[in-house]
Homo-oligomer: A and B are copies of this chain.
Amino acid sequence: MKPIGVFDSGLGGLTVAAALNRKLPNEQLIYLGDTARLPYGTKSASTVIRYSLQIANFLVSQGIKLLVAACNTASAHAVDALREALPIPVLGVVEPGAREAAHRTTLGQIGVIGTLGTVGSGAYRRALQDIRSDLVVFSQPCPLLVPLAEEGWHEHPVTAEVARHYLSQLRQQSGDLDTIVLGCTHYPLLKKTLADQASGVFGHPVELVDSADAVAQAVADELVDKDLTQRGSRVAEDRFFVTDDSRFAELAARFLGRRISAVENADI
């Protein structure tokens, strides 16, 4: 009867919450967006670990049975520290996303785009090469895509030009590839623009892997494995916490695909 905890630096993790709602409609979620301290993508590993542990302690105090780090940067830097510190299962988004990408590629050449923190950590490269050691991985930080997604400029000409800039840099490294991991939970909002620009830059369609559905599947498997699945119908509505409520309600619907009735403040 316990809820699943999901956290992100802000709103992007709501795309993972939406996938969990679709896959596991009877499970109650408690979401926390650390909107007072976002973004995580430009911050050092030690700061991201410290913030992730504070959030995890808050969510554990709310009685969660499993924690999902729905932020790529937090997944890249903090999953090991969270697993060590917490008495419950912890899942990140990197491993499920990497598995999905490894499954989809034909060429065996994969690109990863994400924040400075996620790309700099090398977490996707390690996860991909743990799955298939022959995979060739190229990566490109794209720091301007998060603010563009947050502004709602999803198909704006400026976003197209910025995407083309970053994808061209990826192409210069890789020559060719057939699959790109969207290594940031904001990027699914820009999927159409990224797909169009990737086709143009690489001269053929490129698979864009959004890890949200893969994460939801990994959570479902983990619940079965640990015998933690909710029996019967849902006991309570999802709850949404933020550390700063500015613009959350306004922006949340874009990510979650539905309106949120109540947003609560978490004092962390």
The residues of A with any CB-CB pair to B shorter than 8 Å are: 35-37, 42-44, 47, 116-117, 143-144, 146-148, 150-151, 153, 157-158, 161-162, 165, 243-247
Task: Write the nearest CB–CB distance from A77 to chain B, whole angstroms.
Answer: 11
Instruction: Contacts A143-B147, A158-B165, A161-B158 given; indicate if A47 touches B36 (C-beta within 8 A).
Output: yes
Task: Write the nearest CB–CB distance from A9 to chain B, whole angstroms.
Answer: 11
Task: Write the nearest CB–CB distance from A1 to chain B, whole angstroms.
Answer: 34
Structural contact, A244 and B161, CB atoms closer than 8 A:
no
Please report the C-alpha to C-alpha distance between residue A116 and residue B151 in the assembled complex, in whole angstroms: 11
Q: Which residue of B lies closest to A265 (CB)?
A: B46
Structural contact, B47 and A43, CB atoms closer than 8 A:
no
* Main secondary structure on A side of the interface with B: loop
Please report the C-alpha to C-alpha distance between residue A146 and residue B148 in the assembled complex, in whole angstroms: 12
Structural contact, B162 and A244, CB atoms closer than 8 A:
no
Structural contact, A42 and B143, CB atoms closer than 8 A:
no
Instruction: Contacts A143-B151, A148-B144 given; indicate if A47 touches B161 (C-beta within 8 A).
Output: no
Number of copies: 2
Determine the chain B residues whose CB is within 8 A of the CB of A157 once the complex forms.
Answer: 161
Q: Which residue of B lies closest to A36 (CB)?
A: B47
Determine the chain B residues whose CB is within 8 A of the CB of A35 once the complex forms.
Answer: 43
Say which residue of B43, B158, B246 sits within 8 Å of A43 (CB atoms).
Answer: B246
Say which residue of B43, B116, B147, B244 sits within 8 Å of A244 (CB atoms).
Answer: B43
Please report the C-alpha to C-alpha distance between residue A89 and residue B194 in the assembled complex, in whole angstroms: 50
Task: Write the nearest CB–CB distance from A190 to chain B, whole angstroms.
Answer: 14
Structural contact, A44 and B244, CB atoms closer than 8 A:
yes
Structural contact, B245 and A44, CB atoms closer than 8 A:
yes
Determine the chain B residues whose CB is within 8 A of the CB of A158 once the complex forms.
Answer: 144, 158, 161-162, 165
Please report the C-alpha to C-alpha distance between residue A73 and residue B77 in the assembled complex, in whole angstroms: 30
Report the 4 A-B pairs with minimum CB-CB distance, sorted nearest first: A44-B246, A147-B147, A47-B244, A37-B37
Task: Write the nearest CB–CB distance from A110 to chain B, whole angstroms.
Answer: 25
Determine the chain B residues whose CB is within 8 A of the CB of A146 once the complex forms.
Answer: 147
Q: Which residue of B lies closest to A156 (CB)?
A: B165
Q: Which residue of B lies closest to A165 (CB)?
A: B158
Structural contact, A246 and B151, CB atoms closer than 8 A:
no
Please report the C-alpha to C-alpha distance between residue A162 and residue B158 in the assembled complex, in whole angstroms: 7
Interface centre among A47, A143, A153, A157 (most CB of B within 10 A): A47
Say which residue of B42, B161, B246, B247 sits within 8 Å of A247 (CB atoms).
Answer: B42
